[in-house]
Structure 1
């Protein structure tokens, strides 16, 4: 039986809620008496490896990192977004909406979470769960930016900060 792989060893990927990583290997492992093939992903920011079974990869929202033009478009959208007429949802509903966006794994949706929470935080303090979400969204964006632009974490932070002013 031939297995078709969606990703290859060495691919730079984004795993929702975890950040950016690199496919280090594709291994067959036995778990609960059943052999399965797994993608082994080395996460960039931690010393963690994540194993995702190939048969669950399509439901994991794992994706290749975005390209430079997509990143530029997302960052440009910060500068042109008109937030003056946006309604602010109650914090519980906003948290659920933002969590769904982060779980999607989309660069654009993660950026929206970062941007929206940053603006709210300028107006009033965020609650602790939203502060954590803002920090995570920022981390996810910076992780991906370092891979896309091949820049340092500090350079990515500066680029991100300058795009929301």
Structure 2
């Protein structure tokens, strides 16, 4: 491959990136493809864990929200976010589920860490519904892959690091605060 095509718009081959709808992937190459008589330059992104290869037109990178991996301070901030008190709105589950899904698919690490924090359940807490569990696992997966890539940890080590931080959070059902008592009344 010639040097000219190894980098486009600040992204280069061999670099890990975040694609909002799929999480962390690696740019394996930049290729040209003819589509409807036009020659398009495409980033070829491999998502190893999902056995998925995506071709993203270079010109669409901004509009699809593809970004570089978070900086270490952003990882630290996300890990601090999960230690906070869960903020669960008192709206219908379907509305909250849509909001959680939008946060996960935004590709924004801090938004994803909020979903991890809000949907986390420790062993001594009541079971989650199937859909809560699905959203939690999806958010945890996205967050742990990025933490793993940035901190150069295995995926298992990244998950353990996030779980360790989650366990520092104030326990949800330890003592209901006054606001939730009023809402229950």
Determine the structure 1 residue equivalent to 2:103: 101
What TM-score does the superposition give when structure 2 sets the normalisation length? 0.78
Whether contact under 8 Å (1:120, 1:126) holds in the other structure is no
What TM-score does the superposition give when structure 1 sets the normalisation length? 0.86
Greater RCO, CA 8 A, separation 6+: 1
Determine the structure 1 residue equivalent to 2:15: 11
Determine the structure 2 residue equivalent to 1:20: 24
The 3 A distance-change label for structure 1 pair 39 and 122 is farther
Whether contact under 8 Å (1:146, 1:152) holds in the other structure is yes
Whether contact under 8 Å (2:115, 2:136) holds in the other structure is yes
The 3 A distance-change label for structure 1 pair 144 and 4 is closer
Is structure 2 residue 168 aligned with structure 1 residue 143? Answer: no
* SS class of match (1:38): strand
- 1:6 and 1:150 mapped to 2: Cα distance? 22
Uncovered stretches (5+) of structure 1, i.e. residues with no partner: none
Could you say what the CA RMSD is over the residues aligned between the two structures, in angstroms? 2.3
The 3 A distance-change label for structure 1 pair 141 and 86 is closer
Is structure 2 residue 85 aligned with structure 1 residue 82? Answer: yes
Name which one, 1 or 2, has greater alpha-carbon Rg: 2
- Number of residues paired by the alignment? 161
The 3 A distance-change label for structure 1 pair 60 and 122 is farther
| Displacement after TM superposition at 1:4 (Å) | 5.5
The 3 A distance-change label for structure 1 pair 55 and 120 is farther
| Displacement after TM superposition at 1:128 (Å) | 2.8
129-138 vs 21-30, greater mean Cα deviation? 129-138
Is structure 2 residue 160 aligned with structure 1 residue 161? Answer: no
